[in-house]
Structure 1
Amino acid sequence: MYRNQSSSISSQRGNVYIIAIFVIVVLGMLALNLTRISWSNQDTLTREVLGSQASLLAQSGNEWALTHLFPLDGEDDFNSLSARCGTLGTSANDAGAALVGNSGIPCIAPTIACETSPSGIPDELRYLKVSTQATCSDGSVFEVEREETVWVRGIKDE
């Protein structure tokens, strides 16, 4: 009437091994996926930080160019602005190097450019296009580039 308990325990011993292996495999896969998600988050954060640095550097380059185009004691008509736009090149390279040198961020000196509107546009619609392109990298894997553009018009004398 009584069952032999030693035979039932020994017959279940194989099932425990299968369950233990299954649990170990599932936990290992879970740990692997969590590690992969963590690496992905770190990569995303690195790209965001580099993108913010490049964007702010490009914005600083445009602000420098605007102070060059609109000096405190200068004329603000379009012809004066256009003349200053033409002389922006050499000093822009020096300014870009100074912006990176003073910031301490791992970026390449930004490229600051100024273009005048095409000929044939009526006087009231003429403009200058100031654009700065900045590139920041972490030195090994990621490189992020941002470009900021500002459209400028002269102040009309009345």
Structure 2
Amino acid sequence: MYRNSCTSISSQQGNVYIVAIFVIVVMGMLALNLTRISWSNQDTLTREVLGTQASFLAQSGNEWALTHLFPLDQGDDYDSLVIRCGSLGGSAVGAANALVANSGVACAAPVISCVNPFENNEDSVPDELKYIQVSTRAICNDGNVFEVEREETVWVKGVKL
């Protein structure tokens, strides 16, 4: 068999160009999709870290409020808790600022609140069912796009001796 001299290599160069363009387009699409996946993973990780920071900050706020509500060597009955709950406001702001300053995270000061849900109808609820609700809301952001908010709530009951 002899090679046909009419079909030279120069007449087949158009096919090589088509294959080369196809390979470049396919590789470009793969690179673009891998870049999107990488950015998506980074965004997810950022949200997860901010959410964890906000959750821990909210938990720290609740723990601070509980130490305020249950000081050492003082009564832990429901009436004493109601009084301490009412006085929580001013000191909670200072504690919230201190929590953020000592944590080293880029979060806003958490909002610590104490609510007596039985304030209006205390007489109609038995003492063993009364509680106080302490909640802390923390917001953390990365300064650019993401902002994550977490709120943790604790129900506190008085202790009768």
Q: TM-score range by the shorter chain?
A: over 0.9
The CA RMSD measured in Å over matched residues stands at 1.2
The answer to whether residue 116 in structure 2 is matched with residue 116 in structure 1 is yes
Distance in structure 2 (CA, Å) of the matches to 1:150 and 1:40: 34
Could you tell me how far 1:6 is from its partner in structure 2? 5.8
Q: Map Cα deviations across residues 23-52 of structure 1 (whole Å, 9 max, x no partner).
A: 000000100100110011000000000000
Match of 1:42 in 2: 42
Structure 1: which 5+ runs fail to align? none
What letter corresponds to residue 148 of structure 2 in structure 1? V
2:83 pairs with 1:79: no
Q: 1:122-137 to 2 correspondence within 5 Å?
A: 122-137=126-141
Equivalent residue, structure 2, for 1:141: 145
Provide the TM-score with structure 2 as the length reference: 0.93
Residue 153 (structure 1) aligns with: 157
Deviation string 1:62-119 (CA, Å, 9 cap, x unpaired) is 0000000000111010000110000000000110000001111000000000011322
1:91-106 equivalence runs, <5 A:
91-106=91-106
SS at match of 1:150: strand
SS at match of 2:13: helix
The residue identity in structure 2 corresponding to 1:142 is: F
Gapped runs of 5+ residues in structure 2? none
Using the size of structure 1 for normalisation, the TM-score is 0.95
Please give the secondary structure, in 2, of the residue aligned with 1:154.
coil
**Any idea what SS the aligned residue of 2:108 has?**
strand
Moved more, 5-14 or 36-45: 5-14
Q: After the TM superposition, which residues 5-24 of structure 1 pair with which residues of structure 2 at under 5 Å, given as runs?
A: 5=5, 7-24=7-24
Structure 1 counterpart SS, 2:7: helix
Q: Aligned to 2:55, what secondary structure does the other structure show?
A: helix
Structure-2 separation of matches of 1:133 and 1:53:
12
Q: Tell me the CA shift for residue 7 of structure 1.
A: 2.0
Aligned-residue offset at 1:11 = 2.9
Question: CA separation in 2, counterparts of 1:53 and 1:94?
Answer: 19
Identity %, equivalent residues: 73
* SS of equivalent residue, structure 2 residue 105: coil
